[in-house]
Structure 1
Amino acid sequence: MAGSALAAGVVAASAVLMLGLAAAGSAAVESQRMASVADAAALAAADAASGAVTGDPCARAAEVAGAQRASVSACAVDGLIATVTVGGLFAGMPTTATARAGPPPPGGPG
């Protein structure tokens, strides 16, 4: 009888641990997804700002973010550099990510 109670306790503890790890893993995946959406939206805005594609830069960013189940919460274009913040929901909680895109600085990186 004591062995059964111990086994049940081990199984319950393992189940709780697995649920916690699954939740943490899901949150990490959603964080990366939002970062990718922000990158794509910023690139779309920078393309529009440079004239590579037509349209308003922030409208292009919103179009790209919307296609990936996110929304643009902030968009700023300074010359050819676009900074975009996107947001969404994960498990009922708001998530955000910000990205910048544009030409490299004069003189190269570094």
Structure 2
Amino acid sequence: MAGTVASVGIAAVSAAVIVAAAGVGAASVVAQRAAGAADAAALAAADAASGAVVGVPCDRADELAAAAGARVLSCELAELIATVSVTVPFGAWEVTVAARAGPPP
């Protein structure tokens, strides 16, 4: 009987660890997706600001963020440098990431 209780306890703890690891892994994937969306949106805005592509810089950032499943929270331009902040939903939470792009100093 004691061996059965110990086995059930070990199985329960193992299941809890696996579920927690899966949650951490999923959060990591969403964070990387948000970072990629922010980078792409900032690069698109900087390209539009420099004239490398046609369009309004922050509109281009919105388009690329939406294509990656993100939403732009803010888009700021300082000359040719674009700073974009995006958010990606993750269950009941949102992951927010900012990125900056522009010509080298």
Match of 1:108 in 2: none
Q: Which residue of 2 aligns with 1:26?
A: 26
Distance apart, 1:95 and its partner CA: 1.3
Deviations 1:45-101 (A, max 9, x none): 001001011010000000000011111000001111000000121012021100000
State the number of aligned residues: 105
Unaligned stretches of 5+ residues in structure 1: 106-110
Percent identity between matched residues is: 53
CA distance in 1, matches of 2:66, 2:29: 19
TM-score by length of 2: 0.97
Paired AA for residue 44 in structure 1: A
Root mean square deviation of aligned Cα: 0.7
What amino acid is aligned across from residue 83 of structure 2 in structure 1? T
d(CA) in 2 for partners of 1:16, 1:33: 26
Contact 2:30/2:88 (<8 A) preserved: no
**Alignment match, 2:11:** 11
TM-score, reference length from structure 1: 0.93
